[in-house]
Amino acid sequence: MDTDHLTEQLRLIEERVARIEEHLAIPHARPDALQEGSAPEQPPPKTVDGDEREFELGQNWFAKIGIVVLALGIVFLLTLPYEDLPPAVPGLFGLFLAGGLFIMARILRKSFDLVSRYNRGAGMVLLFFATMRLFYFGTEPVIRAGSPAGIILLVSVLAVNVWISLHRKSPYLFNIALSTGFATAIAVGSGWFMLPMIVVLGTLSVAVSLRNGWTTVLVYATALAYLTHLIWAVNNPFLGNDLAFVTGPEASLILLLVYAAVFSVGALARKDKDREEIGIIVASFLNGGGSYALYLLHSATTFPSSLIGLHLLAFAVYLTLAIVFWLRVRSRFSTFAYVMLGYMALSVAIVRAFAVPDLFVWLSAQSIIVVATAIWFRSRFIIVANFVIYLSIVIAYLVVGGEETGISVGFGIVALASARILNWQKDRLELKTEMMRNAYLLSAFAVFPYAASHLVHGQYVSIAWLGIAGFYYLMNMIIRSQKYRWMGHLTILLTVFYVLFVGIARLEPTYRIISFLALGTVLLVGSLIFTRIRARRKRGEAEGEAGEGGSGGEKDPGGA
């Protein structure tokens, strides 16, 4: 009875599996098809031969190129003046052709899907240009692009294109619709329409990108938004205006920060928050770099009197974006981009607020703040970038700083402080090497002797350098770091070279004697100290070996 029940259950399971295989279109495998211990036969790898390449070229690429060429030909046809025809006829003819392309795309959607899709894209482009023909390219416009009727017509065409792209669920078509939208903003020309239109299209592109996972749409819309704003900022030369930065309103600069915030949502609210793919990284760098490049260019050329306040505001916005990216998605690259742009804005404000050489003091002090920020964000990228900027500040000071007033000492202090912070928080930063800390220490090693040689009289340079060496030895005693001891050794050797090659030739006899006596005394004292330390270390090692050898109760006579 139990055997019959088990057999019935197996039969029912087989029937269910068969129905599942039939529903999923999985071929049913016969029991004798797979012998015991044999693996299923793998299909041979597909190879692309010459015929396949020929068909790829002829079937796909010929269709793509042909439709693009055809659409361009019609566009050029529409741009001719046609003086003998009524102004509305070329535009209406273009609208008729666009409708024909849409109808053809619908007819061919099953038999020739590729041609159908490209016909639809060409129809969207032609629909926009046919509408534009009512405003431009003729001897006289049918209606004005900036009039209420013209704006309504252009926005309606944009709405149709957006609907088609979303209905077909195609990022390719949506990018075409975006192109016509930003071109609409340029065609109208008014800043009061153009700038809000950028915000609307940016918001729409972010929403569509998040809903469908179209990262390419986010990147493309970001690039078009800042390109369109640039065209407006240089007085829209496409409408025949002279190329020059517009002088107002100043609040238009704030819109650049609004764009940056809007497009950052596309990276912040993405579904896959655990992985930062290349498209998101490109979008963040394009968003931050594009917004701040335009912000800096326009503000510096047109609103120099407001430069400090504008760039302090930019600093606050970009740093806030960096914090949000770090707290929400733990982004490494986007956080780095916005942090560095924020501190770049702060540097611009400092340069504007202070004169040479005082501004170098504030710029170097900012370097410590950046290091502290990098520790909080756990970013090695910020540390490396900050060191490059710090080095650039030092070089700029050497070139344009003029007479030394002690600012170089501040550079050395900043380098030592940065090195100490990095050593203190190296586990948080996950720094596997000492490269960056050594770079800061090397900077301090070079800066302090330079500062001393310019701040004290040439007769006392060697004495000052010996004082610097003593400072390094003191640091070694306080924090027990061999690096500072080596910095002291190398500073003493640097002093030896200075006394031998510079002191003999340039110093007066009295100061030459003092330098030699002081340097010789320091070297001898140092030698005695190292001799005592080494002897003490050897004695400790010998006693340790004796203790290990005397475990049986009898001391090793040679260990004492």
pLDDT tens, per residue, the chain with 560 residues: 456 666 766 777 777 677 666 656 555 555 444 444 444 455 555 555 555 665 555 556 666 676 667 667 777 777 777 777 777 888 888 888 888 888 887 887 776 666 677 788 888 888 998 898 888 877 778 888 888 999 999 999 999 999 999 998 989 999 999 999 999 999 998 888 999 999 999 999 999 999 998 999 999 999 999 999 999 999 999 888 889 889 878 888 999 999 999 999 999 988 887 788 898 999 999 999 999 999 999 999 999 889 999 999 999 999 999 999 999 888 889 999 999 999 999 999 999 999 888 888 888 889 889 988 888 888 888 888 889 889 988 888 888 877 777 888 888 889 888 888 888 776 666 555 578 888 888 888 888 888 888 787 767 777 787 888 888 888 888 887 778 888 887 887 777 776 666 655 555 566 556 665 665 676 666 666 656 656 666 666 666 655 555 544 444 433 33
Hey, how many other C-beta atoms are within 10 angstroms of the C-beta on 213?
12
- Alpha helix (H) ranges present in 354-434? 358-377, 380-400, 407-424, 426-429
d(CA 23, CA 452): 85
The tokens for 129 are 């240009």
What secondary structure letter does DSSP report for 60?
A: I
What is the separation, in whole angstroms, between the first and last Cα of the chain?
Answer: 92
Contacts of 405 (CB under 8 A, 6+ apart): 357
The tokens for 379 are 């970013």
3-class secondary structure for 485-513? HHHHHHHHHHHHHHHHHHHHHHCCHHHHH
Cα dihedral across residues 419, 424, 427, 433: positive or negative? positive
Answer whether the bond into residue 27 is a cis peptide, omega within 30°: no
Contacts of 521 (CB under 8 A, 6+ apart): none
Q: In terms of Cα–Cα distance, which of 290, 273, 366, 367 is closest to 324? A: 273
Q: In terms of Cα–Cα distance, which of 237, 230, 274, 272 is closest to 252? A: 230
Tell me, what's the pLDDT at 551?
47
Tell me, what's the pLDDT at 223?
96
d(CA 505, CA 499): 9
Do residues 134 and 89 make contact, with C-beta atoms less than 8 angstroms apart? no
Hey, how many other C-beta atoms are within 10 angstroms of the C-beta on 425?
16
d(CA 288, CA 307): 19
Q: In terms of Cα–Cα distance, which of 406, 427, 256, 270 is closest to 334? A: 270
d(CA 193, CA 236): 13
